[in-house]
Amino acid sequence: MSDCLFCKIVKGDIPSNKVYEDELCLAFYDIDPQAPTHFLVIPKTHIGSVSEVNEENAAVVAHIFTVIAKVTKELGVDSYRVVSNIGEQAGQSVFHLHFHVLGGRDMTWPPG
Ligand code: 5GP
Ligand code: ZN
């Protein structure tokens, strides 16, 4: 999508601090980190949020979770939280599917 911030990051039109990249997905550090480790993992194809995941595009979501498992191990982060906000009320501000990976500090539950 031409007006999507994360599609622009995928294309390289907007720079990002990359953690990992392959043909299906991209991981990069969040510009406004909420934990000592805070990166985002996104599919390279535009999916608006978890609410748009279906049988046709779900494989990339499974792949993203293998990437999260691999990258966190490489970074030495063994306890972390994976979050995806869906919709404005839940705090979604960029409407391209992304998984926050947060680690390196104590977390509270329930989340705010
Ligand atoms: P959401 O609020 O949709 O769950 O998460 C969007 C995330 O994208 C936020 O944590 C925000 O800090 C991050 N973000 C917004 N714009 C940029 C950007 O230009 N570069 C990077 N690296 N992160 C961004
Ligand atoms: Zn997009």
Q: What's the average pLDDT block by block, 10 residues per block, for the chain (112 residues)?
A: 95 98 98 98 98 98 98 98 98 98 97 89
Q: What is the pLDDT of residue 89?
A: 98
Residue 56: both structure tokens together: 């046709």
Q: What is the pLDDT of residue 2?
A: 85
Under 8 Å CB-to-CB from 103, ≥6 apart: which residues?
Answer: 35, 36, 37, 38, 72, 77, 79, 80, 81
Q: Any residues with Cβ below 6 Å from ligand 1, and which?
A: 5, 14, 16, 28-32, 85, 91-94
Q: Tell me whether residue 98 is one of the annotated catalytic residues.
A: yes
What is the reported pTM?
A: 0.98
What is the number of the ligand closest to the CA of 44? Answer: 2
Query: How far apart are the CA of 10 and the centre of ligand 1, in A?
Result: 13
Q: What is the pLDDT of residue 1?
A: 80
Whether 16 and 27 have beta carbons less than 8 Å apart is answered as: no
Query: How far apart are the CA of 72 and the centre of ligand 2, in A?
Result: 24
What is the number of the ligand closest to the CA of 92? Answer: 1
